[in-house]
Structure 1
Amino acid sequence: MQQAYALENLPAPAEVTGVTAANFNELVVANYQPIVLRGFAANWPLVQAGRQSLPDAAAYLKARCNNQPQKLVSLGPDTGGRLFYNSSISGMNFTASQQPLQSAIDTMLAADNDSDMRYCVQCVPVADNFNALLPELSNPLLNPSPRPFIWLGTRVTVPAHFDEASNIAVVAAGKRRFTLFPPEQVANLYVGPLDLTPAGQPISMVNLQQPDLQAHPQYANAYQAGLSVELDAGDAIYIPSPWWHSVTSLSSFNVLVNYWWSNAYVASALPLPMLLHAIQAFNHMAPGERAAWQHMLQHYLFNPDHPLAHIPENARGVQGQPTPQLAQGLHQWLAAQLNR
């Protein structure tokens, strides 16, 4: 049963070569599919250090970090290295402590390959913590290049989740497996609580390494739509939002660098907070009223032929062409409404 759902048996995302900033949208973004970019960062000094050895990659990072305290996540022997909930879904299955970054890296290196303890430091802004490394991590496909984040750890698995922004993730040391599912598989992934999450984004409750088809029978459908690929140091993957993706670190020490970007002008325009508010607003309405609002949402949000000819272009406001000024004004209006 488990072998039938082995991630290694899934097809890999397409690979594209010859991608430049000029053709990135045409060759990659327009397809709305995950795309593997082999050798994307082959010339990064960090990648080259890691190809010498994983301790060399760690030493390279330690020499270039500001050594500020970071949250070191520790996963015990009973977790299998999978970031998840505790048995009662009332909290998490890991602990966290503040450690200087160099000390956190040393803790990871000291863990044997067969150690039952797993560790990670997640989502560290490079600009604030590795400013000597920042000039070496430019992204030639994105202009201007978004500020990168760095992720460090041992053999840890992040469950399937989605990002609210587009993502280019670069394996800088070690190996990682990316397993991906299209957004329409959300009903088959058994998503956990939206407001209690390991790292801010809702996660699938399915253990992809050992799926329980009695508890999660519809995962069989998600698996049929899944993609999975193993990436080496220097490889990258483009993940459109909100594709579901799980990431498993396969080496004793792993480094990932990623870049998020969004067409939203302000952070408040990201969709997850709006989804949570919509759930709160609509889920407890009487059936007739809720059905009426379903028509409103369909008309304003999901109707590609929504007519606007009856409104002059300069008077369309939020329905017209977005601008930073319009987005900021709407943000202020929404904040005022929510705080009444």
Structure 2
Amino acid sequence: MVDVEHPDFERFPKFQQALAASLTAELNPGDVLFIPSMWWHHVRGIDDINVLITHWWRDTPGYLGRPNNALQHSMLSLRSLPKAQRKAWKAMFDHYIFDHDDVDDSYITDNAKGMLTKPLDELNARKLRADLINKLKR
């Protein structure tokens, strides 16, 4: 939402911090710039002809789905909940999604872990996807 060329620092005061941490790269014909996944960026073409190719890839199998789908679904189902409920869901996401590497689940037998397998295997990913699709159809 910030006009990068003419920023309104009163309206967007944190943009000054972003600019202070930013890097600038000017490319020449034939140059390529790789921007890592999840890095915020702004691109401006300064020549008559410019080419920009965006491809989001990741190092996980395709059967796991796209993270932006989870974000959109979360916006749909969680964002408008009362703050106390969002806080409870945040704790659930932290436990099952963001901090799961730190969870000791050795007391659960492998055949009982289901969607809690680390990493999530294809069979359980397909089960989760089918369940979610059925719920979204309602």
Q: By the TM > 0.5 criterion, same fold? A: yes
Higher relative helix content: 2
Percent identical among aligned pairs is 32
Higher relative strand content: 1
1:281 counterpart = 2:77: yes
1:221 counterpart = 2:23: no
Cα deviation 1:150-169 (Å, max 9, x = unaligned): xxxxxxxxxxxxxxxxxxxx
Q: Secondary structure at the match of 2:86?
A: helix
Q: Is the 8 A contact 2:63 2:122 kept in 1?
A: no
Q: Is the 8 A contact 2:2 2:8 kept in 1?
A: yes
1:300 counterpart = 2:90: no
Q: Is the 8 A contact 2:63 2:126 kept in 1?
A: no
Aligned residue number for residue 326 of structure 1? 124
Distance 1:332 1:206 in 2: 40
Distance 1:210 1:267 in 2: 42
Kindly state the Cα deviation for residue 213 of structure 1 after the two structures are TM-superposed. 0.9
Cα deviation 1:35-89 (Å, max 9, x = unaligned): xxxxxxxxxxxxxxxxxxxxxxxxxxxxxxxxxxxxxxxxxxxxxxxxxxxxxxx
Q: Is the 8 A contact 2:37 2:56 kept in 1?
A: no
Distance 2:77 2:108 in 1: 28
Aligned residue number for residue 133 of structure 2? 335
Q: Which has the higher contact order (CA 8 A, sep 6+)?
A: 1
For residue 109 of structure 2, what is the amino acid of its counterpart? P
TM-score normalised over the length of structure 1 = 0.36
Query: What pairs up with 1:123-162 in 2 under 5 angstroms?
Result: none
Query: What pairs up with 1:1-340 in 2 under 5 angstroms?
Result: 205-257=1-53, 259-266=55-62, 269-303=65-99, 304-320=101-117, 321-340=119-138
TM-score normalised over the length of structure 2 = 0.81
Q: Secondary structure at the match of 2:9?
A: coil
Query: Which stretch shows the higher mean deviation, 320-329 or 221-230?
Result: 320-329
Cα RMSD after superposing both structures: 2.3
Distance 1:313 1:245 in 2: 42
Distance 1:255 1:238 in 2: 14
Provide structure 1 residue ranges, at least 5 long, that are not aligned to the other structure.
Answer: 1-204
